[in-house]
Amino acid sequence: MDERAVYSEHRPWGFFEVLSDTETHKVKRITVYPHKRLSLQRHTRRKEHWFFIHGRGVVTLDADNIPVDVGKSVDIDFNVVHRVENTGDDNLVYIEVQLGEYFGEDDIERIEDDYGRV
């Protein structure tokens, strides 16, 4: 199976590149622009592991705010409310590994969003 970059998508907060998309996992490289953040969200059908490779930011996991920078990682279990925010002046880049039964973008329940998405 060819596991090179499958595709990329741009969002108001930055962009992501899908590096691998199989039946058992999905891997993305996610870039968040300076002073932007993703929606506050949760997933019911997947969990995620984030490993930070550039920049600095804050990850929200339920009620906790965790500072992150290069070399740090966080684990996000099923149904955990989460978001990442770039608090720096450079791009924040991390690798996301998804595990679960389904990896579609429609497994996002947005709780709060700076860009009006539902």
Q: Is the pLDDT of residue 5 over 70?
A: no
Q: Is the pLDDT of residue 3 over 60?
A: no
d(CA 86, CA 69): 10
Q: How many CB atoms lie within 10 A of CB 59?
A: 20
Q: Domains in the chain: how many in total?
A: 1
Look up the CATH number of the domain holding residue 39: 2.60.120.10
pTM of the model: 0.92
Q: What is the pLDDT of residue 32?
A: 98
Q: Looking at the domain assignment, is residue 48 inside a domain?
A: yes
CA neighbor of 64 nearest in space, from 80, 86, 44, 79: 80
Residue 48 sits in which domain range? 7-112
User: Does residue 2 lie within any of the structural domains?
Assistant: no
Q: Is residue 61 part of a domain?
A: yes
- Report if residue 24 sits inside a domain: yes
Structure tokens at 18: 């899908």
Burial class (CB in 10 A: 0-12, 13-18, 19+), 98: buried
Q: What is the pLDDT of residues 15-35, one digit of tens each?
A: 999 999 999 999 999 999 999
Write the pLDDT tens digit of every residue in 78-87.
999 999 999 9
